[in-house]
Amino acid sequence: MKKIRLVKTIILAFLMLLIGTAGIPDAYAVDVSVSLPTFDVTMNGIEINNEYRQYPFIVYKDITYFPMTYSDSRFLGIKTKWNDVTGLEVDCDSEADGTYDTYATEKKNVSRYTASIPAFKIRVNGKTIENSKEKYPLLQFRNVTYFPLTWKFAVDEFGWDYRFNAKSGLTIKNPKYEGPQIKEAVLPLAVRDGGSFIGDFTVAGSLFYYEGDNGIIYQAPIDNPSDRKSVYELPLWTYGSSYVYPKLDTIDEKVIMTYHQGGASMGSDFRIILKEDGTSEDYSYGYLSRKEFGEYTVNVSQSVPPSQNNLSVKKAGEQEFTQVGDHNYIYGWTWKKTEVSEGGGPSNDFFLIEDNLYILAYYKPREEFGTTGIHKVNIHTGETTRLCDQSAVKFIMCGDFIYFMDEEGFLYKMPVDGNSAEKLSDKAASDFTVLNHTVYYVSRYDDGLELFRLGLEGSLNPGGVVKSLTAQEGYVVCTFEDNSSSPYKMMVFGSNGKTLYRMSQAVTKVVVQKDRIFYYKK
């Protein structure tokens, strides 16, 4: 009986201890109610999707709170350090890498949550913060510390520029940030073929151009996409009841729409210029590649099968194109002749520098085996010179050098004058691009089609199967297949080689224009 009384006494004392502890009015242990912002939030020009963000911005006592994640902190130029003894230390960091991570999640956030007030020590730029005495204390939410965006912290301590108005919401910017603005293109694009085809879009100036439903190409202001107007009606495809499939690009500030009409051999490619005033102009038709270089326009005929004498040039003010080059060559093709076959495909790689056109070409009359090479063609004399012995299937000009990939996938570099070519790697590639002499490449199929950069070990996004790799207006943009096992589905790199942006959600297209990056995700 005494044992039973003793056990009861111990249990009662324990319960009283619990009740007593819970009843202490300790500010550090008190939970607080927070909500998600009802206004837009933009950080360094990037719109924050709080609805589907693992660490969203939150609001407490009508003050917006910023999540001090690793990526968010460095993106705004601050660094954090934590240990059990000194607690949290926050300092301005002039060497912050500027990489942004969306922290995207598939689960939609609700409007209200519970956060807590942390009990650990806090120092900001060497100053101790007495959190219990702060009108707007630091909070902890989802195991991440949140800072109030008050003038005291945002401006005085971190040096940010932050503003709020009813139209644009809250904008926060680190003055040291020099990266692009990144914006999701929220557009009602056409969805066809059971969802396997998504309409295309592009950006020119302050306007979107995109394919909507029922074969209509729309133009709409970037700041107000709902204020759209029809600028073109697509024709029905010759062999079906659906509309043709347009591709939209902005080239030298011109919006060019391309679509194919008819069959593979008897059909034709049509290119239309869509103008800002809502009108359109026929640009070209047929199987050809056309580019403008200042006062010269270069045409490369790419009809099937390819024929010689397929290169022509027109100077501004002239009415007709004039054939140029050596009539024994086929230009603008990756061509190869072996013991058992002969064939290839069209190439859009050609560049005009002063009087010389750099282009892929193949000497057709030869009887022996041969491959396509990079050639220099004088547009006035027609003199055609092969620059090196190596084959080439793709090349890019960067400054005074040419970077190219041979038919086996090996990458090379050579001066624009040609002669010797330097092999850059013993690892074969399936695609590549160059920005400021930094080479990014995609491994071959049997190596996983992953993204690499010359000079660095290992994949830049392990497990990511590359869908597209492009260099656009001073940035390299890479997208990855939806089913990739990689943590990211889109990455953006700057001219200095640094990663500027990483996104974990799949996108269908990315457009870069004048330090603005627009993406469309499913």
The β-bridge relationship of strands 216-221 and 144-148 is unpaired
Confirm if 210 and 226 have CB atoms less than 8 A apart.
no
- 88: Cβ contacts below 8 Å, ≥ 6 apart: 80, 81, 82, 118, 120, 121, 122, 123, 145
| Confidence check: pLDDT of 96 > 60 | no
Q: Which pair of tokens denotes residue 192?
A: 């066809």
Residue with tokens 């230009």: 331
Reported as a pLDDT band with limits 50, 70 and 90, residue 352 is very high
CB atoms within 10 A of CB 357: 26
Sheet strand arrangement including 268-274:
247-251, 254-261, 268-274, 280-285
Tell me the per-residue pLDDT of 161-209, one tens digit each, with 9 for 90 and over.
989 988 889 999 988 887 788 888 999 999 998 888 999 999 999 999 9
- 310: Cβ contacts below 8 Å, ≥ 6 apart: 300, 301, 302, 303, 330, 331, 332
**Per-residue pLDDT, 473:** 92
Tell me the per-residue pLDDT of 297-315, one tens digit each, with 9 for 90 and over.
999 999 888 889 999 999 9
The burial class, CB within 10 Å (0-12 / 13-18 / 19+), for 335 is buried
Reported as a pLDDT band with limits 50, 70 and 90, residue 22 is very low
**Per-residue pLDDT, 98:** 61
Tell me the per-residue pLDDT of 238-276, one tens digit each, with 9 for 90 and over.
887 889 999 999 998 999 999 999 887 778 999 999 999
As beta bridge partners, residue 441 has: 432, 452
Reported as a pLDDT band with limits 50, 70 and 90, residue 213 is very high
| Confidence check: pLDDT of 12 > 60 | no
Biggest CA-to-CA distance, the chain: 116
| 27-31, 138-142, 148-152, 303-307: range with lowest mean pLDDT | 27-31
Reported as a pLDDT band with limits 50, 70 and 90, residue 353 is very high
Gap between the Cα atoms of 466 and 481, Å rounded: 6
DSSP single-letter state for residue 194: G
Percent of the chain with pLDDT over 90: 69
Percent of the chain with pLDDT over 70: 93
Gap between the Cα atoms of 302 and 345, Å rounded: 9
Gap between the Cα atoms of 452 and 432, Å rounded: 9
Sign of CA dihedral 494, 496, 500, 505: positive
Tell me the per-residue pLDDT of 395-413, one tens digit each, with 9 for 90 and over.
999 999 999 999 999 999 9
| Confidence check: pLDDT of 20 > 70 | no
The β-bridge relationship of strands 268-274 and 280-285 is antiparallel
Alpha carbon separation from 497 to 325, 360, 411, 475, 477 (Å, rounded) = 38, 29, 19, 9, 12
Tell me the per-residue pLDDT of 40-94, one tens digit each, with 9 for 90 and over.
999 988 889 999 999 999 999 999 999 999 889 888 888 888 888 888 999 987 5
**Per-residue pLDDT, 499:** 87
The burial class, CB within 10 Å (0-12 / 13-18 / 19+), for 500 is buried
Reported as a pLDDT band with limits 50, 70 and 90, residue 214 is very high
Residue with tokens 């009415």: 319
**Per-residue pLDDT, 10:** 35
Tell me the per-residue pLDDT of 421-448, one tens digit each, with 9 for 90 and over.
999 999 999 999 999 999 999 999 989 9
Reported as a pLDDT band with limits 50, 70 and 90, residue 15 is very low
DSSP single-letter state for residue 244: P
Q: Which amino acid is at 251?
A: I
What are the φ/ψ torsions at residue 14 (nearest 5 degrees)?
-65, -45
**Per-residue pLDDT, 46:** 87
| Confidence check: pLDDT of 29 > 60 | no
